[in-house]
Amino acid sequence: MRVLFLYLNAFSAVGGIQKFNKNLVRALEELVFDTVCYSLHDLKTDFPKTTTRTKFFSATGNKVKFIINSLKYSTTTDTILIAHINLTFPLALLIKVFLPKKKIILITHGIEIWQNLSWSKKIGLKACNEIVTVSNYTRQQIINKHKITPSRIKILHNTIDEDFKPYEKDGKPIDLLQKYHLTGVEKIILTVCRLNSTEKNKGYDKVIEMLPRIIKTNPSVKYILVGKGDINEINRIKSLITSLGLDDYVILTGYVSEDDLPKYYALCDVFIMPSEKEGFGIVFLEALVSGKLVIGGNRDGSVDALLNGRLGTLINPRSADEIYSSLLSKITMNDEEIKKISPEIKRITQENFGFSNFKKNILEILCRK
């Protein structure tokens, strides 16, 4: 089978969609498809050097060039994968008109497809034969908002990034303890996400607002918030921290590299992201394979990442009481009990979201008649 993968970027930026794209490229290579990957923004220097069957091309940001060459590559392809709704118009429509026998599959993730679409994106959406999305929540949003026939939408969950290697040393990383002036006896709560003023839906502010209640009975608690953000949101969160008297209890790390991130999961005792608009949440998988207790919201794609509560605790992200009680139960859990359940959590996570399962699901989607 010949596959054309059209995408914005995968190797030149960091984020959930980029990780998905990168793993999809790797899966197509390992499945031995004849694949052409054409990026709007990735440059030649960004492309992986380890692939042998996959051909990579870049439009270097030129949208007209991207459309023209995408049509050209489509003529020698069986299936076209379009990685973002922003690429569907006029591309999907042109392929549909001039190459009507080609199968077009749109890949969707979260907020980009939940929102009201422009007339052009609606046309592009309807021109696609199938839609692939990462969670049942997003699937239902597509059905409700865009009136897409349910049978046209398939689920392809995110996978654990093959490059993510959990920290394997015993104990908490010494360098991070020293960096943040920690003794090692603190109970560490962790969230990893972008701090974005236009998407205030990750729930970290709710965790901060609840912390004084936790600290009353557990004064050794620290909350570490990892992720880059825009200045408006960072200032808002800093003001919130100060107003609640939490300057000694909340640590904002800013951007952390992909190589260093496993150490932060190893540093924490509990991972929490009580989001309301998360398409899936790869960070949940990273925390789970790191053997950590996890808490997520029950109103979005986090439900899929936590297997409907099998892998972690699902709470109402708008309920301060549920955030409080779930965190309290986790930070007071016996260490021996955690060691007992951790291997099983890791096993189930790998079984459901490991790369081999990701490849199998891609194969089923692409080979379905």
pLDDT digits (tens, 9 = 90+) for 314-325: 999 999 999 999
For the beta carbon of residue 232, count every other beta carbon within 10 angstroms. Answer: 12
Residue 162 has pLDDT above 90, yes or no: no
Q: How confident is the model at residue 246 (pLDDT cuts 50, 70, 90)?
A: very high
Our CA dihedral for 205, 194, 16, 339, rounded to 10 degrees, sits at -60
CATH homologous superfamily for 174-352? Glycogen Phosphorylase B; (3.40.50.2000)
Matching CATH topology for 2-159+354-367 and 174-352? yes
Residue 369 has pLDDT above 80, yes or no: no
DSSP string, 95-119: HHHH-TTSEEEEEE-SHHHHSPPPH
The two three-digit tokens of residue 305, written as one number: 């990442």
Average pLDDT over residues 10-28: 94
> Per DSSP, what are the bridge partners of residue 35?
3
pTM: 0.95
* The residue type at 100: P
Residue 49 has pLDDT above 90, yes or no: no
**What is the fold of 2-159+354-367?**
Rossmann fold (3.40.50)
Average pLDDT over residues 191-195: 95
Element (H, E) at 58: strand 55-58
**Which residue stretches of 180-252 are H helix?**
204-217, 231-243
Residue 234 has pLDDT above 80, yes or no: yes
Domain ranges of the chain: 2-159+354-367, 174-352
pLDDT digits (tens, 9 = 90+) for 94-153: 999 999 999 999 999 999 999 999 999 999 999 999 999 999 999 999 999 999 999 999
Q: Dihedral sign, CA of 211, 214, 215, 218?
A: negative
Residue 280 has pLDDT above 90, yes or no: yes
Average pLDDT over residues 300-309: 97
